Amino acid sequence: MAMMYSEKVQDHFANPRNVGKMEDADGVGQVGNAVCGDIMKMYLKIEDDIIVDVKFNTFGCGAAIATSSMATELIKGKSVTEAMQLTNQAVVEALDGLPAVKVHCSVLAEEAIKAALKDYYERKGLPVPPECQICDHDCHACGGCG
Ligand code: FES
């Protein structure tokens, strides 16, 4: 059965934004998807608590690439506080939806951002905000929380 992807998903899959590595990142996060085993790495450049640049790499499916691409666009130029509040649901909405069986792929982007922010706080020797803890929202979208 063919899956229906929105035009935005197809666009971000075909032309993903902010793909690559960052040598001088202030925070780096790598996470794996509990459902499929795919991996994502997120790099953040942060100045005065503003995310001035972001890059990502993924060994993931098309939906993971599209959601990560959209997530990077949503947090670029935002404060770290705003970025840590980004949810996978918000990313899915910004893409005009995902097929239900692919929603778990969007969790990868949210968790990679949180992991990178956690790394940023740890590098600065600051307490890690509870919002940066990965998968404490018990959303069951990814199956990782049981
Ligand atoms: Fe693994 Fe989509 S199937 S992230």
- For residue range 94-105, what is the model confidence (pLDDT) as tens digits? 999 999 999 888
Ligand 1 atom closest to the Cα of residue 63 is 2
Q: Amino acid identity, residue 40?
A: M
d(C-alpha 21, C-alpha 25), whole Å: 9
Q: What is the pLDDT of residues 12-26, one digit of tens each?
A: 999 999 999 999 999
Is any atom of ligand 1 closer than 6 Å to the C-beta of 108? yes
Scanning the structure block, which residue is given the tokens 């097929």? 99
d(C-alpha 17, C-alpha 66), whole Å: 9
Is any atom of ligand 1 closer than 6 Å to the C-beta of 65? no
Q: What is the pLDDT of residues 3-57, one digit of tens each?
A: 689 999 999 999 999 999 999 999 999 998 877 888 999 999 999 999 999 999 9
To the query of whether residue 36 is one of the catalytic residues in this protein, the response is yes
Record the pTM: 0.87
To the query of whether residue 139 is one of the catalytic residues in this protein, the response is no
Between 75 and 135, whose confidence is greater?
75
